[in-house]
Amino acid sequence: MQRRKFLHTSAAAAGLAAATRESLAALADGPTKRVGLIGSGWYGKIDLLRLVQVAPVEVVSLCDVDSQMLSAAADLVAERQQNRQRPRLYADYRKMLAEKDLDAVLIGTPDHWHALPMIEAVQSGLDVYVQKPTAVDVVESHSMLAAARKYGRVVQVGTQRRSTPHLIEARNRILKEGLLGNISHAEVCCYYHMRARENPPDAAPPEYLDYDMWSGPAPLLPYCSLRHPRRWRAFMEYGNGIVGDMCVHMLDMVRWMLDLGWPQRVTSSGGIFVDKASRANITDTQTAMFEFDNLNVVWNHRSWGTSPDPDYPWAATLYGDKGTLKLSVNSYDFIPAGRGDKIHGDVVMELEQYPEDKTEKDLERHVAPAVRGHMLDWLAAIENRGRPVADIEQGHISSVSCILANLAMKLGRTLEWDPAIHRVVGDDEANAMLARPYREPWVHPTPEKV
């Protein structure tokens, strides 16, 4: 398909605005964007292959510390990209970036490896797509924002609810039309049984994995089968638990829909209440409250039991004086408070437009349209040098809000946040925890030194 027609068709399918389509048209007439991927596991491949679907990019290089995973990803990319070339492979992202032959890079590593590659990428003059949450600690995330602004790069965060077609429809059809009336409460939740339940023994890392590099700035803990691949989310050393993994999406969606900035105060409580046998150290039960002006957003997760609403086990619910709006990755439902019609919408998976989605291993097919839209939005922002819909600042706010929730739970008290100075008001103990210790030789970034 010709470049211009390809991008125009993809933009139209995603329902992007005319200004975005114009930006993509300009991109179609320019040189092919050369891209690389750092972290070739589950979502790294999902992100990259959705980009390949919607734009005539050239995937130049891939990087991963797991040589088996890296080689398999290279084979898949060679099958799917237009020139059928197998990308160059790297085990160290610094060597990949040092080639100076990329325009943009995607980062799909575990969370503890988001900050350093992203910062080095923008320092190298690249635009970046980085998975959520932005970071594991507050100072890391703040440093990522500072670096993006200092070097003038376009950074899109993988909070793709902002680009989910049926959720954009709900925002336009329900919220912008005022059908909810005054909105003064929101609930966000996840009741998936997603927490690891095993207790595997320590073992030697597999020979194809550079476990020291995989651990990076995190503690070098004994290897076990829960650490790699994909199961590292069981440990707080590498992420922020279910709050950092799932709440960040739904909180960010609520913020986007209601045009909210920073919460003023964050409170949280929870722990490991039910599944005490697992090696996992993330909570299996947790509640958090994010206080905005005249609005509280309340989060709940349980990795056990049943969902109070089986149709919305991972969701957001907005409460207005004229009605209620339920939102998920699969659908939305508006229920009027009095007279009026209920409104329902569903995800459209686009399997006929993108038939490779039907057979791609481990693809979340219902999320693929959102990722494609997110990629198109990122490309348009790159072309016009504007801010994408999930700009690094928005990802930073949502990610840090979730990090603060975990700190509030750990400290057992409400944290009042001052975004102007990026400090917890009147709480030296909390402020001392805004940056986690880094393992040598890795050096923790700071906003002042990026």
Query: Where do the domains of the chain lie?
Result: 3-161+364-391, 163-348+396-431
Q: How far is CA 168 from the centre of its chain?
A: 18
Runs of H (alpha helix) within 306-437: 368-384, 392-411, 428-431
Those residues whose C-beta lies under 8 Å from the C-beta of residue 326, and which sit 6 or more positions away, are 309, 311, 312, 315, 316, 317, 332, 333, 335
Phi–psi pair at 104, nearest 5 degrees: -155, 155
Element (H, E) at 78: helix 67-80
Residues in the chain predicted with pLDDT less than 70, given as ranges, are 1-29
Q: Is 115 exposed, middle or buried (0-12, 13-18, 19+ CB in 10 A)?
A: buried
The predicted structure's pLDDT at residue 319 = 98
The CA distance from 28 to 6, in Å, is: 8
Mapped onto helix, strand or coil, the DSSP state of residue 157 is strand
C-alpha 292/C-alpha 262 separation (Å) is 7
The whole model's pTM is what?
Answer: 0.95
Under CATH, which number does the domain 3-161+364-391 receive? 3.40.50.720
- CB-neighbour burial class of residue 232 (10 A; exposed 0-12, middle 13-18, buried 19+): buried
End-to-end CA distance of the chain: 41
233 contacts 239 by C-beta, under 8 angstroms? yes
Q: How many helices (H) and strands (E) does the chain have?
A: 14, 16
What is the SS3 assignment for 227?
coil
Q: Are strands 265-271 and 285-292 parallel, antiparallel or unpaired?
A: antiparallel
pLDDT tens digits for range 374-426: 999 999 999 999 999 999 999 999 999 999 999 999 999 999 999 999 999 99
Cβ–Cβ under 8 Å, residues 251 and 290: yes
Q: What is the pLDDT of residue 3?
A: 60
**What separation in angstroms does the CA of 344 have from each of 254, 309, 366?**
18, 16, 17
Return the pLDDT at 338. Answer: 87
* Element of type H or E holding 24: helix 18-29
Burial (CB < 10 A; 0-12, 13-18, 19+), residue 275, is: middle
Q: Which CATH superfamily is domain 163-348+396-431 in?
A: Dihydrodipicolinate Reductase; domain 2 (3.30.360.10)
With 0-12 / 13-18 / 19 or more C-beta atoms within 10 angstroms meaning exposed / middle / buried, residue 260 is buried
Separation CA 314–CA 213 (nearest Å): 33
